[in-house]
Amino acid sequence: MDGKELLTVKNLSVEFQTGKGRIEVIDRVNFKIKAGKTLGVVGESGCGKSVTASSIMRLLPHPYGEVTSGEVFFHGEDLLTKPVEDMYKIRGGKISMIFQEPMTAMNPVQVAGKQIKEVLDLHRNELTKDLIDQEIIKILQDVEMPSPEVRVKNYPFQLSGGMRQRMMIAMALAGEPDILIADEPTTALDVTVQAQILKLIKTLQEKNNMGVLFITHDMGVVAEVSDDVVVMYAGQIVESGDVETIFLKPKHPYTKGLISSMPHLETEPKTHLPSIKGNVPTPSAYPETCRFANRCDYVTDKCRENTPTLDQVKDGHYVRCFRVGEI
């Protein structure tokens, strides 16, 4: 059913063990992924987007990364308390992931078809050998891979960047997932191929009624693919809501800064685009107060002395800012 809640993340916090001790990198993150809908998670590098996705998949590096609090409910069951053996069946099956760089994500010494076959062997064991070969070709046709009968025999280095990403999408879809996590899936691609991949993911989502978690640093991509948006900064959600609200009525200074820095067709050539001053603090330097204060144009003494909470300002629209009523 379109819009049905598939996955709910509640108060997720993550710490990493470093040379400076234990450091919190994710602070009480909450969101939901619905069938047939795309949740865009956006923010600068290092804000915690990919760590959040890895936490959902139980793929944090052991023993350095640890979920310290929270719950991740998938079809009513908490993934964080499931036995490791059960997660093997879920990862790549009911929850699949497309990684940022397909050349390093694929096995360089195996032909592409064999890599898809491994997914089918693990998650689609009802298929016979003959049916598996047919299913591989069908999946590649679904992702619009040119000459699929030829490509199954190719090694990753023999494929273009766009073909490798289509192959990664094929591997992710082979287990017939309910949820697809796309972690910066177009970063390494040129703009033409990027547009093709975004359109492909949307088409496959509509066909299979998947929920999609789309991780990116590109606000333009978020606007194109998302139904709902989560804006992350320094390990926290600073704003969330439906895509129209976030782009037309942003209430957090960071969200406003990201949107204002986007180029537009009507922008005059050589016009200097606005930028957000300063840099994202490292996790070991996160302040106890507002984490965006040192980069914010709206900052006051209250921001430097107190900790803002993520509060609902309108139905479904949440903002972490003391001055939300003035922005």
Structure confidence by residue, pLDDT tens digits, 147-182: 999 999 999 999 998 899 899 999 999 999 999 999
Name the helix (H) or strand (E) containing 116. helix 112-123
pLDDT (tens digit, 9 = 90+) per residue, 53-109?
999 999 999 889 999 999 999 999 999 999 999 999 999 999 999 987 777 889 999
Residue 45 belongs to a domain: yes
Q: What are the tens digits of pLDDT across the range 269-316?
A: 777 778 899 889 999 999 999 999 999 999 999 999 999 999 999 999
Q: What is the pLDDT of residue 1?
A: 53
In a domain, 291, yes or no: yes
Q: Give the C-alpha separation, 124 to 111, whole Å.
A: 20
Q: Do 264 and 249 meet the contact criterion of CB atoms below 8 Å apart?
A: no
Across-strand partners of 182? 98, 214
Q: Residue 197 falls within a domain, yes or no?
A: no
Q: What's the residue count for the chain?
A: 327
Tell me if the pTM is above 0.85.
yes
Split at pLDDT 50, 70, 90, the class of 119 is very high
d(CA 95, CA 224): 23
Residue 314 included in any domain: yes
Average pLDDT over residues 201-210: 92
Q: Is the four-CA dihedral 173, 33, 183, 22 of positive or negative sign? A: negative
pLDDT, greater one: 140 or 101: 140
Q: At 172, is the secondary structure helix, strand, or coil? A: helix
Domain contains 212: no
Residue 249: CATH number of its domain: 3.40.50.300
158 secondary structure, DSSP code = G
Domain residues for the domain of 290 are 5-83+217-263+273-326
Residue 259 and residue 269 in contact, taking contact as beta carbons nearer than 8 Å? no
Flag whether 90 is in a domain: no
Q: Which of 175, 289, 301, 174 is nearest to 236 (CA)?
A: 289
Residue 96 lies in a domain: no
- Within a domain: residue 74? yes
| Mean predicted confidence (pLDDT) in 204-218 | 94
Break the chain down into helix, strand, coil percent, rounded to 5.
35, 25, 40
Given a cut of 70, is residue 203 above it in pLDDT?
Answer: yes
Give helix then strand counts, H and E, for the chain: 12, 12
pLDDT of residue 256: 96
- The domain total for the chain is 1
Report how far residue 121's alpha carbon sits from residue 175's, in angstroms, rounded to the nearest whole number. 9
Looking at every residue in the chain, the average pLDDT score rounds to 92
Measured CA distances, 63 to 240, 288, 314 (Å): 31, 26, 40
pLDDT confidence band for 268 (50 / 70 / 90): confident
- In this structure, what token pair is assigned to residue 3? 């819009």
What does the pLDDT read at residue 43? 94
